[in-house]
Structures are given as structure tokens and as C-alpha cells.
Amino acid sequence: MSAPTASAQPKITYSAIGGDLDAIHAGFETALATERGRFGGDHDALIGGARVAGGTRFTARSPIDSSIVLGTFAGADATNVDRAVAAARAAQPAWGRTPWRERNAIMHGIAEAIRARRYELAAILSVEIGKTRFESLGDAEEAADLIDYYAAQFEETNGFVRPLGKLAPNEQTQDVLRPYGVFAVIAPFNFPSSLVAGMCGAALLAGNAVVFKPAENASLTGAAMIDVFAQSRLPHGLFNGLFGDGAVGAQVVRHPGVDGVAFTGSREVGMELLRTVGAGGPYAKPVLAELGGKNAAIVSAHADLELAAEGTMRSAFSLQGQKCSACSRVYVEERVAEPFLKLLVEKTRAIVIGDPTLREVYMGPVIDQAAYERFVGAVRSAQNGGTLLHGGERVDGEGFDRGYYVQPTIAKLPLDHELFGRELFLPFLSVGVVASFDHALAEANRSEFGLTGGLFSHDEGEIARFFDEAEAGVLYVNRRTGATTGAWPGVQSFCGWKGSGLTGRGGCGPYYPAQFMREQSRTRML
């Protein structure tokens, strides 16, 4: 069976699949075979439209099998960073003056190019990140949808230009949003195509130039995304891509020629950026950041327990729990705790672990040794005062010896246990038994994070209170496909409250692109 053409590709999101499943799998497998033949190549930075070798080169390997060399990458040095920022500053003024409709047309072209390469991107990031087929395809699909959705906001607002009132008959005033200049974009490993497209796409649509650096352990997917932008109709220098570790990212975001930062990653790094970049110079700079979560689901006595167990399992263990929106805490009412936990453990035991490029696999390896060591530490902590209901071990044996494969783990813990407060980014679910819905809601809100939250209940009063009182930016009720996961552009905004975000307005929603611009009022006398 041949792969579907770009124009006939079915729609795939994190919670729904459209089209012929066999055709989708055939498309993925064809692309996977092609991409495996390309692994091991050299990848240079993109600066001013040209490929540029960096300082010290580094090699990337696959977490699903450490013997797979994905490629060799040019680690950027200080000279590369200077050149990239200078190229961006030189290209931005003309782009900022380009009519928004022309910018939209170019960016729509990039979205279409991503869709055309959807299977290629999915194959790469499945091997590089450890995502399953449909998680990988959803990541690539979302990348294109984010660009188109943000472009539509310029259509709806006439490029964010609106008339204002007047104090005199011969006065004309309008309000406009204008680009800042150059944005540094630092992306995480777990959504290495969608978040890149979302952050870079919004910045470019708004008239800014971009200096982009992917996560070091997502360099090959980053290289593929850089290629998409490089082959587009964007003027040279407007989009620049560098490779390297956190030290390179620090040089980029702190460069005096950078006017703003878009970042997805840890709360600690985001808060440091806010202090040192946002408020560390002669004037404030925008720092747009989504900073992780410790997301809770509540299982009420009025819940459909089978639905709750399915939604919780999917949300906790897809992508090995390595999502900022993953369900990492569950608070279940005491009178339904036993049957709920029985169902949850049964569903978790049925998870197929292995090479995530295979059709039947649901869970691949954690990303690296540091993640594995966090897993070992979390298990040890859970055993101190709690009870492991499932998991807690490394998966060994043939096919598992060259990657960090671990069991999906469920721990029943006292409510004051430290694991209810610590973000793990692992397939590790902490369960607390509570006396009532009120108790569950209070425990769910007792966190420094506030990204996503879920409720399973058929009591309308509980649902209303959850929407009104839960302290998180993304809320789901009775969602089988993911208790706390699954946001999609234009369907669910993805906004972190409290320690999960900096601006109070997140990606995937109607207020995101405007944050890449600053307001200007223009009055003229006629």
C-alpha cells in the first residue's frame, strides 16, 4: 500500500484519528524506512540563509536504541550566535513593514510544507524522542495547524489594527500592534515540531525575526524544521537556526540584540529568564514562557469509573509521562477508591512497552539517563511511606538493553508526600485517597503549578464548581482520551496559571500571537 498524498492526508490529533488506519500506518512505515537510511548525516546551523559550521560538533543517538546514531550537529559558538542575531536584526525591518497578508501567505506555505512532510517528521521524532506513531503524527499535524490558526487571527483582526475614538471632528486615531524586533525561541524535546512551529510561527507572523535553538536531544527534528523554514519564501536572515546545549541557549536569550524570548521548559529556567532577561536590562523585554505542571485529576464518587480509569491511564502514561500536561496526581474519593484503582491498574498492566515505532506499542523509553535516575529516585521516595500499586522497575531483556525503558508506575501515597508537589516528567502517577469532592479540589489546588486539570463526575454542581474553582489554565471534564492532556489549536487554549506560565495567556489560543507585538496608538489631524 502506498503512502497517501499530501492533499489526501487524513486528520490526526492527539485524541482523534480520521481516515484509513492502514493507509496511515503505511505512510508512517514508508517514511520510517526512508529516514532510517538518512540517519547519521551532518547538520550545520542556518544563519542569514546560509549553512554555517559551528564550534564543537556533537553526536545525537536515539533513546529507543543507543546504537542508532541520528546525526552529527554543529554546536554553535559565540561567533555563530552574534552572526545569527545580526542577520535577524538586518532582515527584520523590511519584514516588519511587509503587509500582514503577504506574511500570512508565506506562513501558510510553511504550514503546507509541514503537512507534506508529516510522515517524515513523525518518523524522525518517533526515533529521536520515543513517541508512538500517532503521538508523532499528531505533533507534526499540530505544527501546521498552529501556524494556520495564528494566521487566521490576523485575518480576523485586520492585522491587529482597529480604529479608536476621536476628540475632534478632524482627528483620526487607530490602534496598531507592531513587532518587537528579534525573538529568541528555545524549544523543548517533547513536542519538537509543534512547539517550534507555534512559537516561531507566531513570532514571524507578527513581523519579528527569529533565532531558534532546539533542545539538544531533539536536534534532528530541529534540523528538519529548520529545513522547512529554510526552503520557504521567507527572506534570508529572518529565520536562523542554531544547535547546541543549554549554554548556547543562554547565550542566545541573553544577547543584547534580542528583543524578546519565547521559551517552553522548566519553571526554574523560565523564572530565571524573567529575572535576567525580562527585567535585567535598561527596559523590560517580553518573556513568553510555558513552564510545566503537576497536573491533577479528580475522581468523584459520581464518576463513571471505567471512563475515569481510561482517561487517567492515557493522560499519565502517553509519551512516558513526559508532557507538561501529563496527569501526575489523582485524588479519588474514598468510597470509590478501591474499584477505581482496580480498573486503573488493570488498564496500566495492559500497556505494551517497547520500540515506539512499532504499531502495537503504547509506551517507549524515557528520554535519557537523567530521566531514568529521576525515576529510580521517585520509586525510592514512594516506597518511603507509600505503596506501589504497579510498576517501579526497569524493563529488561532482549530489545530493551539499549534504552531507558521503565514500567508505568502507580503509587498510593499519603497526601503530605513530597511526590505530590514535585514535577517528575516521568510515567509515574501519585494517587491520594480523599474524603470528599471538596477535599479533592483543595488538594488539587495545593500546588505551585497550574497548567491543566481534570474531573470525572456526572454531578452538575461538582462540574460547575470545578470550572469555577480549579486553579489551572486548561480544564477537562469526563475526557476518556486524556484526563488532563490533548489541547489542540483553536479548540483548547494552553495557558499556564501560577508557576506554569508567565503571561496568563498561552499557546493554541486567541491571545497568543498578540503577545509578540507591542501596542502603538496613532493620531493624526485631518
Active-site residue list: 290, 324
d(CA 215, CA 45): 14
Strands (E), 150-275: 161-163, 171-179, 182-186, 209-213, 239-241, 260-264
**Closest Cα partner for 202 from 514, 479, 433, 489?**
514
Distance CA(266)–CA(216), nearest Å, equals 15
CB atoms within 10 A of CB 351: 18
Among 240, 215, 233, CA closest to 54: 240
Cell numbers of 324, please?
A: 507538561
Please tell me what DSSP assigns to residue 472. Answer: S
| 226, 30 contact by CB (below 8 A) | no
Cβ neighbours of residue 56 under 8 Å, at least 6 residues apart? 75, 77
DSSP 8-state symbol, 361: -
How far from the centroid of its chain's Cα atoms is residue 123's Cα?
18
Pairing, β 182-186 against β 260-264: parallel
- Please report how the helices 460-469 and 437-445 are oriented relative to each other, as an axis angle in degrees rounded to 10: 20
